[in-house]
Amino acid sequence: MDSLRYAILGPLRLVHVQGQPLRAAKPRQLLATLLLHPNRFVSTDLIADALWENSPPRSAVANIRTYVRALRGVLQEAGLPAPIDTSAAGYSIEVGVDELDASLFETLLAEGGHLRDAGDSRHAMQVLSRAYSLWRGRPLEGLPIPAAWEGSIARLEAQHRGLVDTLLDLRLEHGDASGAAVLLSARLTEDPYDEQLWRRLVDALLAAGRVGEARAAYGKAVQTLADELDIKPGPELEAAGARAENGRSANWPNPGIPSVRTAEPEAVQPGPMAAPELTDPQRPPSQLPLDLADFSGREEHLDQLRDLVCGRDPVRPPIAVISGAPGTGKTSLAVRLGHLVRDSFPDGQIYLDMHGATQPRDPAGALTDVLLSLNLPDFAIPADPERRSAMLRSELASRRVLIILDDVATAGQVTPLMPGTGASAVVVTSRNRLMDLAGADSLPLDTFDDGEAAELLELVAGAGRVDRTSTAAEEILTACGNLPLAIRIVGSRLAQRPDLSLRELARRLGDETSRLDELSIGELAVRTSADLSYDALSPEEARLYRLIGHFAVGVFSARALEAVASPASVRRSLDRLIEVNLVRISSVDHRGTARYRVHDLLRLHAIGVGDEEQKAQAVRDVETVLDAILNKIRRANAALNFEYFGVLEHYGPLDAPDPAPFTETDAIAWFDSERSTFVPSIRAAAQNGLHDYAWRIACAWAPYLDMRAGFDDWHGSHHQGLMSAVSCGDRRGEAIMHRNLGQLALYQDDWDTAWHHLEEAARVFGGIGDRLGTGVTAVGMGTWLRERGRRDDALVQYEAAIEAFLEAGNANGEALARTAAANMWLHRDDTDTAGRYLAQAFLLAVRRVDSHREAKVRRRIAALRVQQGRSEQAVRQLRRALEIFNGMGDDHCAAYTRSELGRALVARGEVAAARKMLLDAMDIGHRLGDRSVEGQAAQQLGQLYVSTGNLDSARRTLDRAARVWQQAGNDEQAAECRRELAAFDTGVAAG
């Protein structure tokens, strides 16, 4: 490790440099920002966010240039190379893997993971110990941590937690009791309330022969749990204490003792996994459809487009609009261009079909797809479309990405997807010229010239099939009007029909009464071409085609169809359908997995073909596919490491034993990869009259939607699910859909909608005697009442929920309801009753090893400690809760925790740290569209500014809080903010 030059896993250090040559604050922040993104250009916007948070000066760009020059000089004086590169995309620092501790850390994690997978656990332990030794504290400790750093720092901290857990497992495996005890002690400094960690520390110390220390550890555990949580140790910890008292070691390492991975489920992080076995680096998107092998012509247009998109205009990014009538080859030209210029866009090529000619795609959904394609985590994408658009502009500013937006209806449909600066490029195809698309260069397409038309006919028809100099060929091309699609139709006919002569085809086309039938561009042409292809299919291929017509409302994967045939059979049939142009490849991901699409008109054609029995068989096949999707969702749910608070459509075990159970990581990866399948599947179920599957699939993927805050998919799937539950007369399904839609409306502060759905859910659940559903709905109604200021009514609902959960035997619901009720007792200043409720809730959570529920209870315990004047213990609880939420990627809960932690830090006098927490909570709440947390944090921050004498900031922030509370419909809090503003202004005037 002597080659290390930079260190960020702890305080920022320049290794092997005497003294500290880099003392100026802004250059240090700049260097840290670049080192968090080594060997990658960092945009000036991101650097400005890191240096000045949300208020960069007007001279920010010039200042950054000055800091870069200063940083280069400092590094050179220190004897370090200063490979800081500058480009239109921003700034980049070039460092080798062994020159930066974070890069070396991640490399060692990957190496250790591979060794462990290969069975060489002892060597893995040595390598991972080297990685552990690099960690000196929190990354960039001692520097103010801006929001721009938090994602990178959270990823490193999650990897470190996973490393500690893995090392502990390995030391247990190899009998290193003392080494395991060291790691366990370190973990307990971070979380002194984890009974499983205390129990394992006692057993490890016993195994190492340190009986006295084992007894002391048990005594400390008992005291900590009693002092902090007012609870007694659980049976497993008590048993460990008995072993320590008797001086008897457990059979250690004991297979019966859960490992860290069992006791505390592995956290899920966006980007690289939290476990030390790193995934391959995320590759840039490569979504271009396959290029046409027989593409021809358009050379002048290609040169013009290539010059445009590859030009480096310092003022604006290139935007090209390819417009023209149907059949002029707009899409083919855009795709050919994309393949020709791939090397000029190393950060990826994104392709989106905007469906302008059929059902124009919503820009908000398209923004989400582009951001996901750029490898942004789902939970980081703002709910507000305008903020999504701003995020996309920020991302594109530091990348070189080519975006092709195919079949656009209007300029307004794609304006939100345009970059604002940088070297990315956009190519748009449309039947309209889109003259109102700002900053775009227009490239209208007409028909081919005679030479291009003849060349295309020769290529499509096949070698030796067409003599372009013949009179018949000229007549055919004249009848086609040199329109590319018409030429392709007749050329394909010649290729498929070796018995069809040029003279005979020319004769048919020469008859004006039948020419439109031969060359029609619209639906009739598609039907005729599709019929010819369909007639050539084998029975197996035709059956799959009919299934796709009924099922493929959007893109689909081959895996989804494998429920009706073997994987090999499905792939053979798909290959044939692609060959005859009835199905096309939509995209291919970095693993080489294709996703397919069938044109809407071809889908309608597929629905209409076949006899009545074959059409009925297609619907039965759709049912088989939907059943497989539903059961796979159930299997994936079973692997998730938290219990969903809601009502699922399936209580009991899976219908059949699971031949290949998901791991948690695999389950989430499967949900992520197949996410685009579920909403179309629900629509397909409804369209085929399979309403029972529509609401059940909507319900089944609710835990994933809740975890990922997938509000758009939640809304779309559950509204269709509700209509389907009503259509099939399933009262329980109707109640579940209402409850889930009510919960979604609560998240979005849509109070009238939330109450309507929750009230309907309560009525139906009560009518069918579903106590679990009644309890879950009562919690939602309690939350509604609490947020509307009706706390006494809310407590009544929470108490009713506890009773319902006790009857239903649902410990997760009971823990949540007790936590919510405790909050109401805190509002009454009854800390004794609140404490009892919270102690019971905490025990339910930790003994069920539900870390998400545990974190939520910790938040309420912190509120109790604040009310008791024990602010230091409150801060500890909130920091642990925040760590859990961040580890799971739960930004929503983390935002509330930050707000509460900010308030607790104020009570301790830590003003700077409190201000940062509250600012972060405001920003995250605004991004997620949660006005409650945004208003709460803004109000607390305004009060903080008042206390520190920052009067202008106080006035602005309290005014913002009042407006946000008003938007959220919380008149009570809005009025309180206005009263604080009035009192504040009065005091200022008096002063």
Beta-strand relationship, 425-430 and 319-323: parallel
Residue 734 neighbours by CB distance under 10 Å:
24
| Closest listed residue to residue 424, CA positions, set 391, 386, 393, 389 | 393
Q: What pLDDT does residue 965 have?
A: 85
Among 529, 546, 562, which residue terminates a domain? 529
- Kindly report the backbone phi and psi dihedral angles of residue 260, in degrees, each rounded to the nearest multiple of 5, phi listed first: -60, -35
Q: Does residue 742 sit in the same domain as residue 864?
A: no
d(CA 548, CA 543): 9
Q: Please, is 432 exposed, middle or buried when counting C-beta atoms within 10 Å of its C-beta (0-12, 13-18, 19+)? A: middle
* Strand (E) or helix (H) holding 64: helix 60-77
Output the CA–CA distances (angstroms, integers) from residue 255 to 95, 204, 341, in the order listed. Answer: 44, 14, 57
d(CA 68, CA 40): 16
Q: What pLDDT does residue 600 have?
A: 63
| Closest listed residue to residue 83, CA positions, set 74, 94, 73 | 94
Q: What pLDDT does residue 333 have?
A: 92
Helices 484-496 and 512-519, axial angle in degrees (round to 10)? 90
CATH number of the domain residue 404 falls in = 3.40.50.300
User: Is 909 in contact with 870 (CB distance < 8 Å)?
Assistant: no
d(CA 966, CA 865): 30
d(CA 563, CA 622): 9
Check residue 829 and report its DSSP letter.
T
Domain assignment present for residue 898? The answer is yes
Beta-strand relationship, 84-87 and 402-408: unpaired
Name every residue whose Cβ is closer than 8 Å to that of residue 767 and which is 6 or more positions away in sequence: 731
| Closest listed residue to residue 519, CA positions, set 497, 484, 477, 490 | 490
The residues pairing with 844 across neighbouring beta strands, listed in sequence order, are none
d(CA 140, CA 154): 12
Instruction: Give the pair of three-digit tokens for residue 586.
Output: 């939509």
Q: What pLDDT does residue 767 have?
A: 94
d(CA 186, CA 192): 10
Sign for the pseudo-dihedral over CA of 456, 461, 462, 463: negative
Half-sphere exposure of 822 (CA within 13 A, CB side): 28
Average pLDDT taken over every residue of the chain: 81
Domain assignment present for residue 87? The answer is no
d(CA 821, CA 791): 10
- H-assigned helices in 311-358: 330-340
Output the CA–CA distances (angstroms, integers) from residue 203 to 167, 212, 232, 555, 611, in the order listed. Answer: 17, 12, 19, 54, 71
For 92-98, which contacts have Cβ atoms below 8 Å and span 24 or more sequence positions? 92/34, 92/37, 92/39, 92/40, 92/41, 92/42, 93/31, 93/34, 93/35, 93/38, 93/39, 94/38, 94/39, 95/5, 95/6, 95/35, 95/38, 95/39, 96/3, 98/1, 98/3, 98/4
Helices 911-928 and 147-173, axial angle in degrees (round to 10)? 100
Q: Does residue 421 sit in the same domain as residue 483?
A: no
Beta-strand relationship, 584-588 and 90-93: unpaired
- Kindly report the backbone phi and psi dihedral angles of residue 135, in degrees, each rounded to the nearest multiple of 5, phi listed first: -80, 120
Q: Does residue 627 sit in the same domain as residue 764?
A: yes
Domain assignment present for residue 127? The answer is no
d(CA 837, CA 841): 6
Output the CA–CA distances (angstroms, integers) from residue 624 to 617, 693, 729, in the order listed. Answer: 10, 10, 21
d(CA 380, CA 394): 14
- H-assigned helices in 788-870: 791-808, 811-827, 831-847, 851-867
**Domain count for the chain:** 4
Q: Does residue 630 sit in the same domain as residue 690?
A: yes
d(CA 812, CA 779): 12
Among 746, 769, 792, which residue terminates a domain? 769
Among 445, 470, 500, which residue terminates a domain? 445
Beta-strand relationship, 594-597 and 556-557: antiparallel
Instruction: Give the pair of three-digit tokens for residue 882.
Output: 């925040």
Residue type at 122?
Answer: R
Residue 221 neighbours by CB distance under 10 Å:
24
Q: What pLDDT does residue 610 have?
A: 87
d(CA 166, CA 183): 10
pLDDT digit string (tens) for 483-519? 777 788 888 878 877 887 888 888 887 765 555 456 5
| Closest listed residue to residue 566, CA positions, set 587, 590, 540 | 540
Instruction: Give the pair of three-digit tokens for residue 467.
Output: 């003599």
Q: Does residue 519 sit in the same domain as residue 418?
A: no
Name every residue whose Cβ is closer than 8 Å to that of residue 167 and which is 6 or more positions away in sequence: 125, 128, 129, 132, 183
CATH number of the domain residue 975 falls in = 1.25.40.10
Q: Does residue 376 sit in the same domain as residue 422?
A: yes
Q: What pLDDT does residue 405 have?
A: 95
d(CA 465, CA 502): 9
Instruction: Give the pair of three-digit tokens for residue 469.
Output: 């100099």
* Strand (E) or helix (H) holding 650: none
d(CA 788, CA 762): 19
Q: Does residue 899 sit in the same domain as residue 968?
A: yes
Q: Does residue 429 sit in the same domain as residue 525?
A: no
d(CA 403, CA 285): 10
Output the CA–CA distances (angstroms, integers) from residue 102 to 12, 32, 139, 651, in the order listed. Answer: 11, 12, 9, 45
Which residue numbers in the chain have pLDDT < 70?
1-3, 15-22, 54, 78-82, 88-89, 190, 228-229, 248-282, 312-315, 325-327, 357-358, 377-379, 511-533, 579-581, 589-592, 599-602, 641-642, 650-660, 849, 985-991
Name every residue whose Cβ is closer than 8 Å to that of residue 714 and which is 6 or more positions away in sequence: 702, 705, 740, 744
Output the CA–CA distances (angstroms, integers) from residue 741 to 376, 709, 738, 787, in the order listed. Answer: 26, 13, 5, 17
CATH number of the domain residue 670 falls in = 1.25.40
Q: What pLDDT does residue 652 have?
A: 44
Q: Does residue 333 sit in the same domain as residue 418?
A: yes
pLDDT digit string (tens) for 634-690? 888 888 766 778 888 764 444 555 566 777 778 878 787 778 788 889 989 998 999
d(CA 246, CA 229): 27
Beta strands in 591-672 (DSSP E): 594-597
Q: Does residue 409 sit in the same domain as residue 506?
A: no
Domain assignment present for residue 594? The answer is no
Residue with tokens 């070039």: 94
Q: What pLDDT does residue 38 have?
A: 84
Sign for the pseudo-dihedral over CA of 912, 11, 380, 881: negative
Q: Does residue 764 sit in the same domain as residue 694?
A: yes
**Domain span at 469:** 450-529
Domain assignment present for residue 585? The answer is no
User: Is 894 in contact with 883 (CB distance < 8 Å)?
Assistant: no
d(CA 797, CA 783): 9
Domain assignment present for residue 874? The answer is yes
Domain assignment present for residue 223? The answer is no
Domain assignment present for residue 536? The answer is no
Q: Does residue 703 sit in the same domain as residue 721?
A: yes
